[in-house]
Structure 1
Amino acid sequence: MTSLGATVTREGIRFAVWSSAASRLWVSIFDEQGNSEIDRLELQPEGEGVHGLFVAGLAAGTRYGLRADGDYAPEKGLWFDPDKLLVDPYAVEIDRPYVYDIRLSARRGEGTDTAPLLPKAIAATLPQPVPALPPLFQPGGLIYEVPVRAFTMLHPDIPKPQRGTIAALAHPAIVEHLKKLGVGAVELMPVTASIDERHLPPLGLRNAWGYNPVTFMALDPRLAPGGLAELRQTVATMREAGIGVILDLVFNHTGESDRLGPTLSLRGLDSRAYFRHWPDGSLANDTGTGNTVACDHPIVQEMVLDTLRHFVRHAGVDGFRFDLAPILGRVDGVFDAAAPLLMAIRNDPVLSDRVLIAEPWDIGPDGYQLGNFAPPFLEWNDKYRDDIRRFWRGDSGMVGALATRL
């Protein structure tokens, strides 16, 4: 399949997006501030669901979004609405964070253009790939799970403008602290762009951990104001210190939530392909978030693989932790350790040697799959974690449980 997303060349930019059900697709070009739509160009069908267009004269830094039209029947999983600006699933950079607004959930004909409410994708020229090196971390080493923002937000040695960012993790004070602890790898809780769940803003709350993604490749500007280069430099600094970097990635759902959720990207492009639905058209919910990414669909599998390769090639990360990983192995809703996506990750020449860690449960049927992910996947073990913690803090009656877990 042709490359999707915005491909920058010397002559201009090629835009390409996949949808099997849209009747028409457009790319909206915005001004340098990403505020005013200055052009809307229709993409042309190119076969196999790909719609593309080359636009001469555009350069890296161009801000853009997508629009799609087709049948609108949410009860059947069809959400096409050209008034909804959509963020490119292959965006590698966005110009501002996602902010929840109830107008993003308006039904077709009830709302206005959502372009002012959404980030714009930024067409970017990617850096040369990082030299291919074996991952640093080895099974049995110590992993430090890091919420990036909270970890350095109040650290007195970190310059205030840098606190709470990926760059702050590379500060000598942080690196020396991790080395003193004997950390073999840091596992960064989600650093890709996410949106608050709709119940949080009325409570004056925010999603601090980032487990509600929209686009899988674009870093959150709040955590990585320096973009991909910031992550790449931090990974390099950690490697010099002998510490690996593992990204916690969420491929099981998106922040578009349930039928009352916002239309931001995949939902508006082809909901029935990108998300699992029941035969009556309602969204499957094996994640507890309102939707479930259809990881048994070939286009989703390719998007996941492209995302993983992106972070290995262009940031040099040592591996990945997969949130609610049984979703990646569900075929027609049933978990299979030999599912196509899991096998593709194992066999991919760019990914097969990376550290691969499954969170081995979701809330779907037979969702507890601890011990069932085949090598080279490692697994989080909740029973071991919980009993070791209880023994360590001195809870009574834990000696037998400790022996069992060991």
Structure 2
Amino acid sequence: MIYEAHVRGLTKQLEALPEDLRGTYAGLAHPATVAHLKDLGITALELLPIHASVPEPHLVAKGLDNYWGYSTIGFFAPHAAYATQAAQDAGASAVLDEVRGMVHLLHEAGIEVILDVVYNHTGEAGDDGPHLSFRGFDDTSYYAHDDADPVRYADVTGTGNTLDLTHPRVVQLALDSLRYWAQEVGVDGFRFDLAVTLGRRPQGFDPDHPFLVALQTDPVLSGLKLVAEPWDVGMGGWQTGNFPAPMGEWNDRFRDAVRQFWLSDPKEASHGRGTAGVRELATRLAGSADLFGHGRMPLARGPVASINMVTAHDGFTMADLVAFDHKHNEANGEDGRDGSNDNRSWNHGVEDHVEETDDPLDPAGEIAPLRRRSIRNLLATLLLSAGTPMITAGDEMGRTQRGNNNAYCQDNEISWVDWDLAPWRKDLLDTTRYLLELRRAHRALRADSFFLGLPRHTVSTAVPDLVWFGSKGKMLDHAGWNDHARRTVQMLRTGPADGAHDVLLVLNGSLDDAIVRLAGLEVAGSERPSGWRLVWDSDWEHPADRHEDPETEVVGVGSKVVLEPLSTRVYVSV
């Protein structure tokens, strides 16, 4: 369970910390911060870049900073500004010791540390950028140049320059840096920004690029957690699923499918337009075998190679996905040119009003419950799908960036996690904890190999590992999968043969109530399971609502239940 966070942004407003520790490496490892991560069930903390970086000149001119830190200038030094003032005053060794101490304390809490690293470009920017280091050392060796105009840089990163990883010394630089952070600092892995750039040859992306081969074979690096951002902005830049094992990859297809099903399609349906059906979402729920199941050893990577995400640092937060149809990046000073226009979000009828209440006098009061349910649907789909889930810091408690979907230069309250929680945000935090508890408690929700729709080798009876059903309790056939109007689906994931529970996920993506006949399997003349208990409903504002819901009583296979519009239910076998 990965938690993507910014060192400064996560704790800058956390009042449980002493003021001098807020926004620092030490603050990240403070018991209050660690307790939050542990209570959630986080097993790996993925940190936005902490390599020494510099802001771009155009940001400095506007009084802004490169808050995200994707502007590296020192691959062997931590960014000093994230250290406590005492460490900064004591010098570079004290800053490094604070980083090491952070990693050590997180390890003691059972949390791994993954660093987001930027080896695709540097902070020297484009042709008119500053001369800081590599440009002066050996410009033609370190940076890729345009074959048609060798004086100019080749740019497949969108930053003005591209490090040339076809040159042995640039590859050596990157590998030496990675080993340093693994051996000297003790981190557990790396997430590679714009990783396609790292595997580019003159003819395009090559999964057998020497740098990628080195990651697989290096005795220090090959055993770490390695994650690719599988795209860049050059020709042929989308390569999701094409990186070699043991790398995991950010799954943008998962992100788009989940947003499409729960947000874009309902928005279209509310205007009388068509929807996309359930096929794409089902593929993502099952671990994206179409993306990660090919290669030299088909199916070997397993669903854990898919880093499932609905949001990340780049884009809308989860709360903003349900409150904004359009990006609002005015604070960036780029006249709205920055940030993605393909957000697949839905404001549910009113733009903004993220912190609305249920007050009927509030313009957004009527839609507030549906917005909250939409967030819960997004969370449940993320946390209960096959694959490795990644949650963005603050999504578990409804953080907003006020509609800014590219807050890379906002080192302020727009980007910082707000720990002052309104009641609905406290409920959401408890819901996130509960969903992760369900994931931990039921092995049927933690797939380490791709589903085949066949019995597991450890099961003596003919029980398939995964079966899909429609709302009437019948297995989906070819026509059902291709029905774009279908908005209700049941996913039955069977547990191992040693008594583990089966789990039934029921999704209603329509704008109307859905009458669903709960699915089951007939095995050797009997039904498996014999009954279902409702353990979670996205209509519940808080997990404790299950104690007041009469439908949590055990019901038999084939029983009819009614799901609210745009809702998710989780049943466990009895």
CA shift digits 1:86-123 (9 cap, x unpaired): xxxxxxxxxxxxxxxxxxxxxxxxxxxxxxxxxxxxxx
Structure 1 residue aligned with 2:69: 210
Aligned-residue offset at 1:404: 3.0
- Runs of 4+ aligned residues of structure 1 deviating over 4 Å after TM superposition are 389-395
Task: Tell me the alpha carbon deviations over residues 320-376 of structure 1, each in whole angstroms, 9 at most, x when there is no partner.
Answer: 000000111112262100000110111000111000000000011101010000100
1:361 pairs with 2:239: no
Offset at 1:394? Answer: 8.8
- The alignment status of 1:252 with 2:111, answered yes or no, reads no
Kindly indicate whether residue 141 of structure 2 is the aligned counterpart of residue 273 of structure 1.
Answer: yes
Q: Counterpart of 2:99?
A: 231
Q: CA deviation at 1:405?
A: 1.8
Q: Which residue of 2 aligns with 1:147?
A: 6
Task: Indicate how the Cα distance of structure 1 residues 285 and 237 shifts in structure 2: closer, same or farther if over 3 A, else same.
Answer: same
Alpha-carbon deviation of 1:266? Answer: 0.4
**Equivalent of residue 387 in structure 1, options 257, 269, 275:** 257
| Residues 162/270 of structure 1: CA separation in 2 closer, same or farther (3 Å cut) | same
CA deviation vs aligned residue, 1:34-70 (integer Å, no higher than 9, x gap)? xxxxxxxxxxxxxxxxxxxxxxxxxxxxxxxxxxxxx
In structure 1, distance between residues paired with 2:244 and 2:100: 30
Aligned residues: 265
**Paired position in structure 2 for 1:181:** 40
Residues 1:163 and 2:33 aligned together: no
Any residues of structure 2 matched to 1:23-172 within 5 Å, and which? Answer: 142-172=1-31
For 2:236 and 2:277, the matched residues in 1 are separated by 30
Look up the SS of the partner of 1:311 in the other structure.
helix
What TM-score results when the alignment is normalised by the length of structure 2?
0.45
Shift of 1:196: 1.0
Q: Which amino acid aligns with 1:256?
A: E
Paired residue secondary structure (2:52): coil
CA 1:308–1:395: 2 relative to 1, 3 Å: same
1:387–1:302 distance in 2 versus 1, CA, 3 Å: same
What is the CA distance between 1:233 and its match in structure 2?
1.2
> Displacement of 1:198 after TM fit?
1.9
Query: Given residue 114 of structure 2, which amino acid in structure 1 is its aligned partner?
Result: I
* Residue in 2 that maps onto 1:240: 108
TM-score normalised to the size of structure 1?
0.63
- 3-state SS in 1 of match to 2:72: coil
Q: Aligned equivalents of 2:178 and 2:97: distance in 1?
A: 16
For 1:190, the equivalent position in structure 2 comes to 49
How far is 1:393 from its partner? 6.3
Pair 1:325-2:195 in alignment:
yes
Distance across 1 between alignment mates of 2:36 and 2:263: 23
- Percent same amino acid at aligned positions? 50
Give the match for residue 85 of structure 1.
Answer: none
Task: Determine if contact 1:192/1:219 at 8 Å carries over to the other structure.
Answer: yes
SS state at 1:199 partner: helix
For residues 385 and 181 of structure 1, what CA distance do their matches in structure 2 show? Answer: 21
SS of equivalent to 2:191: strand
Name which one, 1 or 2, has greater alpha-carbon Rg. Answer: 2
Q: Which sections of structure 2, spanning at least 5 residues, go unmatched?
A: 89-93, 267-274, 286-574
Q: Counterpart of 2:379?
A: none
Report if the CA contact (8 A) 1:193-1:213 is conserved.
yes
1:89 aligns to what?
A: none
Counterparts of 1:389 and 1:237, CA distance in 2:
36
1:395 and 1:365 map into 2 onto residues whose CA distance is 30
Q: Residue 403 of structure 1 aligns with which residue?
A: 282
Matched, 1:219 2:89: no
Does the 8 A contact of 1:387 with 1:398 survive in 2? no
TM-superposition CA deviations, 1:188-221 (whole Å, max 9, x none): 0001111111211222211111011111111111
Counterparts in 2 of 1:235 and 1:392: CA distance versus 1, 3 Å: farther
Q: Distance in 1 between matches of 2:265 and 2:96?
A: 44
1:289 to 134, 154, 159: 159
SS of residue paired to 1:209: coil
Amino acid aligned to 1:350: V
Which one-letter code corresponds to 2:186 in the other structure? Answer: G
Q: CA deviation at 1:161?
A: 1.3
| 1:324-343 paired onto structure 2 within 5 Å | 324-332=194-202, 334-343=204-213
Query: 1:399 and 1:168, CA in 2 relative to 1: closer, same or farther beyond 3 A?
Result: farther
Instruction: Please give the secondary structure, in 2, of the residue aligned with 1:313.
Output: helix
Residue in 1 aligned with 2:215? Answer: 345
Q: Which has the higher helix share?
A: 2
- For each residue in 1:221-241, what CA deviation from the matched residue of structure 2 results, as whole angstroms up to 9, or x when unmatched? 101344221121111111111
Match in the other structure for 1:59: none
Distance 2:232 2:185 in 1: 29
Which structure is richer in relative contact order (CA contacts within 8 A, separation 6 or more)?
1
What letter matches 2:250 in structure 1? Answer: W
Unaligned runs of 5+ in 1: 1-141
Are residues 172 and 258 of structure 1, via their aligned partners in 2, closer, same or farther at CA, if it must alter by over 3 Å? same
Secondary structure, in 3 states, of the residue corresponding to 1:350? coil
Indicate the SS of the match to 2:9: helix
